[in-house]
Chains A and B, each alone.
Chain A
Amino acid sequence: MSSQTGQSNLPSQRVDVNDPRLSRFDIVREGARRDDIEIVHYEPQVAPGTKAERRLVRTVAGFFLLTGLAATAFLAIYIWWPWEYEPGRGGDKLYTPLLGVTLGVALLGIGFGILTWGKKLLPKEVSIQDRHEGAPPAEDQRITGETMAYMADELGVKRRPLLGVSLLAGLLPVGAVAAAPLVGGLISDPHKDDQMLTTGFAPRDGQKIRLVREDGRPIRPADISAGGQITVFPGVEHGVSNRYADSPTLLIHLREDDAVESRRANERAGHGGYMWGNYAAYSKVCTHAGCPASLYEQQTNRLLCPCHQSQFLITDNAKPIFGPASRRLPQLPIEVDAEGYFVATSDYTEAVGPDFWERP
């Protein structure tokens, strides 16, 4: 095969394409041959004028007409169907599905029409093309290699080393200049204002921060029944917002026997006095990946994070007992102020949220 292709470029072996006796297909085939492609099998699938051909033509035309119909329907629906949202079961709920169906049918109509045309009406063919693959002739590789080596010779960097060294010394800083604004602009000190270790509960001006609900109202002990829990936030400006994403805390009113057990565990963990009565507050931000650990199982006193199923035993100072979390949920020391509302005695005494390298 390769010996044939090698010769096929000689003009003497070519078919004269201006020969009037040649059919158009003959010219096509000759063109293919000049690209080392041999059409070895070419067979019409349907004979012209037959019933089969007419049926296929009708099918293809049917698909195209279906497209036209569906596209028109799409436009009509797009323009006239009531689309604006209204509560309840309005006609607007059908707007998107109807658009999808009409658009989908329109596109599928073109698709199937074209496919039927191409697959059923066009002649079947098998062509064979040479790959001309494998390593190029070693001679070419050598010539190109030598040309490039010669360019290096012409520049003469080897003989004039100073040029190379000085170019490098000049260009390296330029590269750094390109990177500097981006890197420098993005860098931001993670330890600025001790931000990784402080939350909204840090006392301000000696004032202890109140625990508030989502609507901003402070909380009295009597507001939570035994066994109940509530998500609380620092009672500061924007305390109930993502600006204090580290601060959401779970305030739990433990039942009497659980509270006794809890107090004992707290003392073991060095958190004696963090509870107020039978109330304990733990960070809601999971120490694993930072999701809110918000599923509290009252019967077992377990707190489950729904993201990766870490489970924390509240009565054992929120120790992780299952799943990928490796660190206790930090406990917020709480007390009740003179007006009878919960306040944070101090900020969290350890880092809140997911773990990191230099966490103290």
Chain B
Amino acid sequence: MKRRKFDVAAVPGNTARAVDDRFQVATPLRRLLNKVFPDHWSFLLGEIALFSFIVLLLTGVFLTFFFEPAMTEVIYNGSYAPLRGTPMSAAYASTLDISFDVRGGLIMRQMHHWAALLFMAAIVVHMLRVFFTGAFRKPRETNWIIGSLLFWVGFLAGFTGYSLPDDGLSGTGLRIASAIMLSIPVIGSWVTAAVFNGEFPGTIIISRFFIAHVLLIPGLLVALITVHLGLVFKQKHTQWPGPGRTNGNVVGERMFPRYAIKQGGFFMVVFGVIALMGGLFQINPVWLFGPYEAWVVSAASQPDWYVMFLDGSTRLMPDWEITIPIGEGYVIPPLFWPTVVLPGILVAISLLYPFMEARHLKDYRSHNLLQRPRDVPFRTGLGVMALTFYVILTLSGANDVIADKFQISLNAMTWAGRIGLLLLPPLAYYVTYRICLGLQQHDREVLAHGVETGIIRRLPDGRFVEVHQPLGAGDGHGELDYAGWVVPKKMNRLGALGPAIRGFFYPIERPAEAPVSPGHPPVEPRPEREEITSGENRP
């Protein structure tokens, strides 16, 4: 080989070749670059959770540099004047320091808290998307289970983190948590004593929660999230039905560059929104609550939103105490049912649901196409029923605030919650079921008779009829089958009208874009085998 001058432009290529010679990465890398992802706005909800988690890790690491997880009593002497001279735990004092004496500490704290709230919210909304579209069906049951676990592990992460500042509000939450553990039959007092190392509050709970919050739980979250994403990758994402889309293919964009760029941009947007919230919206102003003192509480003490449903269930629970007359007599406190048994049931149902549904429908095939919620009325009904149950509990978690703001009797709110919890979910099921059937029927009707044009024609005998634009063949008899995807119901959607003026509330209605458009193929179709093998390509 001839000796050449050093060529800068050839460096990347040579380096890449050198790397591949040693590690053989070209083929797997090509597979990765080319992997196809289907696209739909609803597929981005899980990403919000992932991105919030990354922000949580970043801001959380910052906070650990300044937080002191100790319950040692100190006298506060920082810059926040109203609390100066107050005895408090070192944990609370260092939280005040992060808020007032660390430059930029407050925005980090607030971003961390907002990111946590967003993380849980995105998980819940993502879970609803997966449920209502049937994305949890075989072969994705495992990922559904991991997702459900992620909610509960996230719940624990949130609760342990919320307790760390040891302020008036979180201490009360911790006390309730100790009462919940105490309510477990037989082992309750032993569990509580093990967690708190004796009686509540003890002196060690904050440091135990700290290590759980910064190491054990995040480790578990990272592991679960990794498996979750790995399975999405391995099993390939589900897709909506549409032209050219089958159970055996994925129609979308290749991962690089466009899909990855959109993901990256979306991450920055989520990050930016969290930064805005962390800067502009105050959250958990612990300095207003004061240090935790067992005898101080204020009205309207609510936990973070994702814990409120448990608070609500606790408030609605009647005072049913079970006494067991053996020996000296034992009790099961009413607190046990709404805070230990109910979450247990919820976990079990959510973990088992994919299997229960498959058994119920005797459907053990693999499904890669999503279903529109209207097409599976019973599942949609069950989902809305569960959602109603959850919303009533969450609202009941704030029933004292609602009673106060709307001048309603507090006891009436409690009773409304109790009755509503039993009556509204079945009602929601029935109403949802009917709505689904109605929507189905309308889709079928449009497919059979066409789109309403708004043109009224008078017949020779004097009757007026509206002209319908058939969607099928032009002879007026082409009845289309329902394909599991949006049926155009307005002439605008068929591109029949001229361009509309952009409205204030509604964007311009464009004809629904076919995912695979046979109309204009800028790329020539895959050549036949014979053409390739004929050797034409060789000179």
Contact = CB atoms under 8 A, between A and B. Distances in A.
Interface of A: 1-2, 7, 12-16, 19, 21-22, 29, 31-35, 37-43, 78, 83-85, 87, 95-101, 103-115, 117-119, 122, 125-131, 133-134, 186-192, 195-196, 231, 233, 241-242, 244-246, 248, 284-285, 288-292, 294-295, 306-310, 320, 322-327, 353-360
B200 A308 contact: no
Nearest to B100: A85
A41 B517 contact: yes
A209 to B, nearest CB: 16
5 contacts: A104-B272, A118-B265, A129-B36, A289-B175, A324-B317
A104 B299 contact: no
Contact of A191 (B176, B189, B299, B538): B189
A16 B34 contact: no
A7 to B, nearest CB: 7
Contact of A107 (B110, B190, B275): B275
Given A111-B266, A129-B36, 8 more contacts: A37-B254, A110-B265, A131-B249, A188-B194, A245-B175, A306-B400, A322-B414, A354-B333
Nearest to A70: B272
Contacts of A125: 253-254, 258
Interface string B158-195: 00000000000001100110111011111111101111
A273 B257 CA distance: 83
Contacts of A130: 248-250
A320 B399 CA distance: 19
Nearest to A16: B537
B350 to A, nearest CB: 25
Interface string B30-45: 1100111000000000
Interface stretch (B288-296, B435-443, B448-456): B288-296
Most buried by B among A16, A32, A84: A32
Nearest to A293: B297
A126 B294 contact: no
B407 interface: no
B201 interface: yes
B314 A308 contact: yes
B236 A131 contact: yes
A332 to B, nearest CB: 14
B315 A308 contact: yes
Interface in B494-539: 515-517, 520-523, 525-526, 529, 532-533, 537-539
Contact of A292 (B200, B295, B521): B295
Interface in B240-261: 244, 247-254, 257-258, 261
B365 to A, nearest CB: 9
Interface in B12-40: 30-31, 34-36
B77 interface: no
Contacts of A16: 537-538
Contacts, number: 340
A355 B335 contact: yes
A322 B516 contact: no
A133 B236 contact: yes
A21 B200 CA distance: 79
A100 B279 contact: yes
B198 A115 contact: no
Given A309-B414, A323-B315, A245 B200 contact: yes
Q: Which 10 A-B pairs have the closest CB atoms?
A: A100-B279, A111-B268, A107-B272, A104-B276, A118-B261, A248-B295, A114-B265, A115-B265, A354-B179, A355-B333
A100 B280 contact: yes
A101 B280 CA distance: 7
B115 to A, nearest CB: 13
Contacts of B265: 110-115, 117-118
B294 A248 contact: yes
Contacts of B252: 126-127
A353 B180 CA distance: 12
Contact of A108 (B272, B293, B317, B366): B272
A354 B182 contact: yes
B277 A100 contact: yes
Nearest to B73: A241
B277 to A, nearest CB: 7
Contact of A291 (B172, B261, B400): B172
B533 A131 contact: no
Contacts of B257: 118, 122
Contact of A356 (B36, B183, B318): B183
B300 A306 contact: yes
Contacts of A95: 106
Contact of A104 (B100, B185, B275): B275
B253 A126 contact: yes
A357 B332 contact: yes
Contacts of B197: 186, 188
Contacts of A98: 279
Given A111-B268, A131-B249, A324-B314, A188 B139 contact: no
Contacts of B296: 292, 294
B526 A38 contact: yes
B331 interface: yes
A307 to B, nearest CB: 6
B523 A42 contact: yes
B328 interface: yes
A103 B179 CA distance: 42
Nearest to A107: B272
B410 A309 contact: yes
Given A248-B294, A326-B321, A290 B414 contact: no
Given A1-B248, A290-B179, A85 B321 contact: no
Contact of B321 (A13, A189, A327): A327
A84 B299 contact: no
Nearest to A33: B526
Interface string B367-393: 010000000000000000000000000
Contacts of A117: 261, 265
Contacts of B334: 288, 324-326
A289 B176 contact: yes
Contacts of A129: 34-36, 236, 249-250
B276 A307 contact: no
A223 to B, nearest CB: 18
A74 to B, nearest CB: 10
Interface string B381-424: 00000000000000000011000000000110010000000000
A84 B258 contact: no
Contact of B271 (A14, A42, A111): A111
A12 B533 CA distance: 6
A128 B36 contact: yes
Contacts of A97: 279-280
B253 A127 contact: yes
Contact of A40 (B184, B318, B516): B516
Contacts of A40: 244, 516, 521, 523, 525
Most buried by A among B106, B272, B276: B272
A39 B248 contact: no
A295 B261 contact: no
A37 B414 CA distance: 58
Nearest to B278: A100
A64 B280 CA distance: 23
Contacts of A188: 193-194, 197-198
Contact of B184 (A96, A189, A248, A357): A357
A290 B366 CA distance: 50
B254 A127 contact: yes
A131 B199 contact: no
